[in-house]
Amino acid sequence: MFPIKDILDDPKPVVRICDVGAMVHELGTEPHHSLITQGLAHVVGFEPNDNERRKARELLGPDHVILPYFIGDGCRGQFRIGRFPMTSSLYEPNMALLEKFSDLAAFHEVKEVREVSTHRLDDVAELGAVDYLKMDVQGAELDVIGGAGRTLSEAVVVQTEVELIPLYKDQPLFADIDRALRAHGFQFHRFLQLTGKIFKPLAFKDSTKSSLGQQLWSDAIYVKDFMAFDKLAPERLLALAIVMHEAYRSYGLVHLALEARDRQIGGTLAAAYLERLLA
């Protein structure tokens, strides 16, 4: 699809992105990658793993900020470093449950436990205002939300990893995250991809059939309630439209946001967007 900047006036707006758990698995796989490559984004990320933080800085470039803070509820906690970095968490792996599935227990094996201090997102001076919040903190997402009231009042899009069963002990699940984000004026939009596994001793040779097993986790996309778009400022509606076009290809929602913006400022961007889509 066409880049949305083609229909935007100069100077182009910059979407302010907060990435909590900024580990980059592979260049180009992050949903906001195209925003960065087009110069439409500024990222402030948080990644306490030294190697992963260094890699993120190299991949994103010097115009973005990656900080070493643990983001949570502002209290001290225990950070469990996993055999595989992406499973490291402030929560303890639920090994009894993980053992029910092939490989999961091994992936979540804890190598080391560190005492750490966490920061509330609203207390991070380097952050500033946020349009788009992305979270992937292995079970601690609700702790992040609890310390991010001001941040969430400004943000218009949230992507958060959610678990459907407790992969970590006592972790909040999708229903808890959904309830908390709705309380901040967000509405569930869609899952990116549901990930599942079949119970042992069975296994699928074809990984595309994993959804036929137990559903385990996904990334959930939330946006500010589209029934209240007329209450959002024009610049926030434009930020929402840019993110939803480039990151999630949610073209109908983009048009809805641009229509609300045009009503406020007497613009014609929604018509230009629709014309380009249909072309």
Per-residue pLDDT of the chain (279 residues; tens, 9 = 90+): 899 999 999 999 999 999 999 888 766 678 999 999 999 999 999 999 888 899 888 888 888 999 999 999 999 999 999 999 899 999 999 999 999 998 899 999 999 999 999 999 999 999 999 999 999 999 999 999 999 999 999 999 999 999 999 999 999 999 999 999 999 999 999 999 899 999 999 888 777 777 688 999 999 999 999 999 999 999 999 999 999 999 999 999 999 999 999 999 999 999 999 999 998
- CB-side exposure of 33: number of CA atoms within 13 Å? 10
What are the CA-CA distances from residue 23 to residues 60, 67, 214 (Å)?
11, 12, 26
Domains, in order of start, for the chain? 12-230 (3.40.50)
pLDDT of residue 203: 83
Residue from 5, 1, 8 nearest 267 by CA: 8
Which pLDDT does position 143 carry in this prediction?
98
Residue for token pair 């946020």: 130
**pTM of the complete model:** 0.95
The pLDDT value given to residue 102 = 87
Joined together, the tokens standing for residue 102 give 């092939």
Strand stretches in 180-261, DSSP E: 186-191, 195-197, 214-224
Question: Using an 8 Å Cβ cutoff, are 179 and 173 in contact?
Answer: no
Report pLDDT for 60. Answer: 84
- Parallel, antiparallel, or unpaired for β 214-224 and 186-191? antiparallel
Question: How far is it, in rounded angstroms, from Cα 199 to Cα 6?
Answer: 48
Give the pLDDT of residue 159: 98
